[in-house]
A and B are shown apart, each in its own frame.
Chain A
Amino acid sequence: MSNAEKKNTQSYLERLKQQALSQENYGGAVKYDQANMQVYDCPECAAARAPADGLTVCAYCGFKFMTVELSDGIHIKKEN
């Protein structure tokens, strides 16, 4: 194995390594968000939402937060 050939392999490897490290990951770097808590009040009448009234409709003005029929999921149930 000549030194010239070894050098070629080495320079290929170096190039490949730099390319791999520098190419941006698809979608960009992973963004780390902290845990958070939010409320989404009724945009029509600004009333707060209580689980007893259901997740999908505003108990005060009838505004539809969600237009779907819930089924039994993991934490969310049909009756919500």
Chain B
Amino acid sequence: MFGFFKNKYDNPALLEEIRQTEEKWFVFMDKLETRLDELCAAAIPELIAVFNQDTDPYKRAHSRMLTGLIGQISQMQQKGMEAKETHIIPFMQASGSLLPDLMSSAGRKYHDRLYRFQMACFDRHHQFEDKVNEGIAALRSAKGNTDLEAVYQRQLREFERIKDSFNCKQCGGKMSIPKMFFIATYIQCPFCQSQNTYTPSTEIQMLFHQARSLAEQRTAHLLQDYENSRPKNPALYQQYLRAMFDEWNKITPDMVAENERFYQRLLKDHSINHY
């Protein structure tokens, strides 16, 4: 077996095919990547514009546009993947099987060339995949900032304005809402003792569901401290979580007991995952 191909293995046609395939692959990757860059660059200002134009409190038009764009990028990613699986890998495997033994001097040059081809193509593909992930991340950040604090403060002021303006529907007596309720609540008329049902405004009901996000915004710097620690310091996470929940409880004080149970659960989950 050894020495069977001692005479020089000569296959210039294969070398040329490798060269051409590699070039074609790079051209293809370049085109895809350029299209990706172009799409993202053009899309980002449009996404921001749509976010600002979107009157929906949940910004659903913006979400739809974002998922559509990511869908197109996924298409490009899939194209790259399929081309690699159809044109590069089979070619590599077929060519490799034609070559003489790697350990023979005749074979080494060709195996080297094929190996360099493989590395070049795969590296180029990884580079493209990295660009895909960067593009998607950039698109996800292309949105305005909802200033939750401003929204909250505005609602607090609005509540102060209206809280003493209610009348008992039974006797007409003046009624005050004792605190910011977020759901329909029974309130007793101080005059005729009748049970009234108070329903807060839609905006205040929505505030309830934004309370955690606001608390997270207020304590984001503490989370950052934890994220920046090397190695990750669980004490810092607990400090963040406690502070976040304290803020949450300031916004929705009626939920303190419930939030405490949730806090304990999250802490436990985190310590399980951390270790």
Contact = CB atoms under 8 A, between A and B. Distances in A.
Interface in A32-66: 32-41, 48-52, 55
Interface string B39-62: 100110010011001111110111
Contact of A33 (B166, B193, B201): B201
Interface in B176-230: 177, 181, 183, 185-188, 192-204
A38 B188 contact: no
A5 B204 contact: no
Interface of A: 1, 5-6, 9-10, 12-13, 16-17, 19-21, 23, 25-26, 29-41, 48-52, 55, 74-76, 80
B236 interface: no
Interface of B: 34-35, 38-39, 42-43, 46, 49-50, 53-58, 60-62, 64-65, 68-69, 72, 162, 166-170, 175, 177, 181, 183, 185-188, 192-204, 254-255
Contacts of A48: 170, 192, 194-195
A79 B200 CA distance: 24
Nearest to B72: A12
A40 B192 CA distance: 14
A49 to B, nearest CB: 4
A66 B193 CA distance: 20
* Chain A interface SS verdict (over half): loop
A9 B46 contact: no
B68 A16 contact: yes
B197 A39 contact: yes
A51 B193 contact: yes
